[in-house]
Structure 1
Amino acid sequence: LRRAALERFRLEEQHRREQERRIELERERLEEERRRREEEESRAAARNRERQARMARIQALVGRFEETLKRMDREISDSFTILDEASGRLARAGERAADEIAERRRSVATALDDSMTLTGELGELAKGLSRLAADHNRSDEAVQEALEQVDQAVEAVRRFVEVAAEIDAMTGLINEIAERTNLLALNATIEAARAGEAGRGFAVVAGEVKSLAAQTARATAEIEQRVAALRASSGAAETAVQKVGSAIDEMGALFQRTLEDLSNRGRMSTEAAARLERLVERMRESLTLVEQLAEVVDGMQASGDEIVAAIRKVGREHGRLKEEVAELLADAEAIA
């Protein structure tokens, strides 16, 4: 009985301890569930706070992004306006530049034609001056030859004057001889008259001699007159020839100066033609440069048109991007 009571007591005690143990386990389970529930609620609250903070940051970021996009949109719109105006000015400037270059090209072409014509005229003028200088040179040679002939004529006149002087001296001697002969004939006539009949023949001879002396004297006088007239004419001729020589000398000097002037003018015309030819070459180069510049301006106009088209395309793309960003912001606000 005692053992049964002890066994019952042991069993009851064991049952009690098992009950307590089950109660303790249940209490621990409930405590663990409570702790897990509190931790879950704490984590959920933390997640909620984190989500709310994240949404607040997203909303703030979306707001800043929206403001930034609005500011960028205004700046881009202003930039597009400025670019559009600039492209318009560029197009107008290109058109004006093209018109001015075309005008310059026409002006340069006209000036080139005029310069080429003037070059030809200067070349012809230089050739004409060269021919005139050559003719003038031949005229100068003719003048020099005339001067030589005049000098020869002056020398001949001088020799003639000298010969006339010699003739004058000889006529003087002949006249003196005639006078002496006449005197001798007179003496012979006187002596023949004294001789009478015997000197009659001698008287006839003396008369003939006297007559011959008289004729010689008259001829000598006439020769002297003619020689005097010839000497006067020779002096006048010498003076005239000397004047002609002086005039020809002056003419030769004038021809020489004219020849030098023509040579200088011909050289100047040749040099001017050469300079004008170089100028024509430079004008050709300038015309080539103007044409190249016109091609560059045409390329600039084409590039300007491409830039304008690209700007307008970017403007359209910006409009579509603006719409997509607006939709994105709306979706972000809806998600927030």
Structure 2
Amino acid sequence: MSFTQLLQSGFRPSTKQTDLNTTLADPTHPLRAALDSLHGNCFIADMSLTLVYMNRSARSTVQELAGAVRSAFGMSLDQLLGGSIHRFHKDPARIDRILADPAQLPREAIFGFGGRTLKTQINAITDDAGHRIGFIVLWDDVTARNASADGAFADVKEATDRIELIGGRLLDVAAETSQQADSAAAATEEMRAAVGSISQSSVHVGSQVHDAMAATAEGVQRMEDLQRSSQEIGDFLRLITTVADQTKLLALNATIEAARAGEAGRGFAVVADEVKQLAGTTSSSIGDIESRIDAIQRAAGEAVATLSRISALVDGISESQDTVAAAIEEQSAVTSEIAQSIAHIASGAKETVEQAELLPDASGSVTAETGVLHQIIQQS
């Protein structure tokens, strides 16, 4: 049953409703001042759902909506008051049923026309006894707000789409980084093992170098001993040479004395001659031995010089080996640090992969929550 039918069935406007219409028609009444002071748009309708009043804010707002109202409903602003609110609804009977049910009030609704979106709330105006004397409609143009919300939602959606895209790229990069870090860790471990093997070899070479130094030093000592021994032999041979010369001289004197003795000294002369020949042979042999000893001494001297140079070279090799050993030790320490760093990188990359895998869900949650917020804003 429509409000017109309700009136025809016996419902009559009360005196208070008439008073309400009269009050609203009086521009000097305090109620008008109170309604005009509201920072919101307000319509008042009587029990027949005829608009009988709009406050100052509503009058200003409908001026902005004039074109949309004319385009959508075919009426001017002057025609708003004095007409039924059913002019704005496609199903007046449904509106009648809603407004006739006290449980349905206050009633909020959002509707659009001519590119505009209005949020409305309608409630009954009752007297002290609870009798209805009219309706008050509070409304607001939420077109700009909803457009801003739409834009913000679109921006958030675009941002979350970019986040998902970035997350996908980050996941790919992190996965590749993790794989490369694992490969680098394996390569570093192999390098560390190789450096360890080189270090052990270096220690072994260092030991051999020290042994070579000791052997060289011993060889130099032996050659110096040989040189001293050959010099002592030479001194002894010179002594023998002196004795042989003296023996030759004695043999010569003996030969002379034997010749003076004549026949009696002939046998002694033979012996003296033999002694002289033996002394000559000895002197000749000693000269040969001396030349050989000189050659040995020269060779020993050259060997000592060579061994000295070898010793110097081995000393240089030893110093270089010590430097190499120190460098290898430092390289081993650096390699261990690199291995640890790569292990941390690999761990971080894996964690990044795990976190990047969470981005789509997080982005989806943000989009869903933003959608809910967007819906709340549009319906509020």
Measured against the shorter chain, the TM-score band is 0.7 to 0.9
Conserved in 2, the CA contact under 8 Å of 1:115 and 1:276? yes
- Pick one of 323, 326, 345 that aligns with 1:279: 345
CA deviation digits over 1:128-151, x for unaligned, max 9?
111112112111111111111111
Change (3 A) 1:263 1:51: closer
In structure 2, what is the equivalent of residue 159 of structure 1?
Answer: 225
1:55 corresponds to which residue?
21
Deviates most, 52-61 or 145-154: 52-61
Which whole-Å CA distance do the structure 2 matches of 1:305 and 1:121 have between them? 50
**Aligned pairs for 1:18-57 within 5 A:** 52-57=18-23
Greater percentage in strand: 2
Q: Distance in 2 between matches of 1:296 and 1:103?
A: 16
Per the alignment, residue 8 of structure 1 pairs with none
The answer on 1:67 being equivalent to 2:50 is: no
Using CA pairs below 8 Å that are at least 6 residues apart, which structure has the higher relative contact order? 1
Unaligned runs of 5+ in 1: 1-46, 319-336
Describe the SS at the equivalent of 2:141. Answer: helix
Q: How many Å apart are 1:282 and its aligned residue? A: 2.5
**CA deviation map 1:261-295 (0-9, x unaligned):** 11111211111111221222223233333333443
Name the CA distance, whole Å, in 1 between partners of 2:371 and 2:252: 139
Structure 2 equivalent of residue 170 of structure 1: 236
Counterpart position of 1:234 = 300
1:55 maps to amino acid:
N
Indicate yes or no: 2:174 matched with 1:108: yes
The alignment-based identity, stated in percent, is: 22
- Alignment-derived partner of residue 310 in structure 2: 244
Q: 1:153 to 1:307 in 2, by over 3 A?
A: same
Question: Is the contact between residue 171 and residue 220 of structure 1 (CA under 8 Å) also seen in structure 2?
Answer: yes
Q: Deviations over 1:231-271 (max 9, x none)?
A: 01100010001001111111111111111111111211111
Q: Which has the larger radius of gyration?
A: 1
| Alignment-mate amino acid for residue 22 of structure 2 | A
Question: Does 1:265 find its partner at 2:331?
Answer: yes
Counterpart of 2:191 in structure 1 is: 125
> Is 1:116–1:280's contact at 8 Å kept on the other side of the alignment?
yes
**2:163–2:359 Cα contact (<8 Å) kept:** no
Q: Secondary structure at the match of 1:181?
A: helix
Q: Which residue is 2:201 aligned to?
A: 135
Moved more, 220-229 or 123-132: 123-132
Determine if contact 1:84/1:311 at 8 Å carries over to the other structure. no
Partner residue of 2:255? 189
Q: What amino acid maps onto 2:219 in structure 1? A: A
Identify the structure with the greater helix proportion: 1
Give the CA deviation at 1:310.
Answer: 5.3
Q: CA deviation at 1:79?
A: 1.7
- Indicate conservation of the 8 Å contact 1:185/1:210, yes or no: yes
| Separation (CA, whole Å) in 2 of partners of 1:146 and 1:131 | 22
Letter in 2 for 1:259: A
Which moves more between the two structures, 276-285 or 86-95? 276-285
| Unpaired runs of at least 5, structure 2 | 1-13, 26-31, 36-43, 45-52, 63-117, 120-138
Deviation of the 1:309 alpha carbon: 5.3
Count of paired positions: 267
TM-score by length of 1: 0.73
- What is the TM-score of this pair, normalised by structure 2? 0.65
Secondary structure at the residue paired with 2:225? Answer: helix
Deviations 1:204-243 (A, max 9, x none): 1111111110111011111110111110110001000100
Instruction: Indicate the SS of the match to 1:101.
Output: helix
1:201 maps to 267
Q: Render the CA deviation track for 1:139-193: whole Å, top value 9, x for unaligned.
A: 1111111111111100000000010011011101111111111111111111111
The whole-number CA distance in structure 2 between the counterparts of 1:308 and 1:218 is 129
1:86 aligns with 2:152: yes
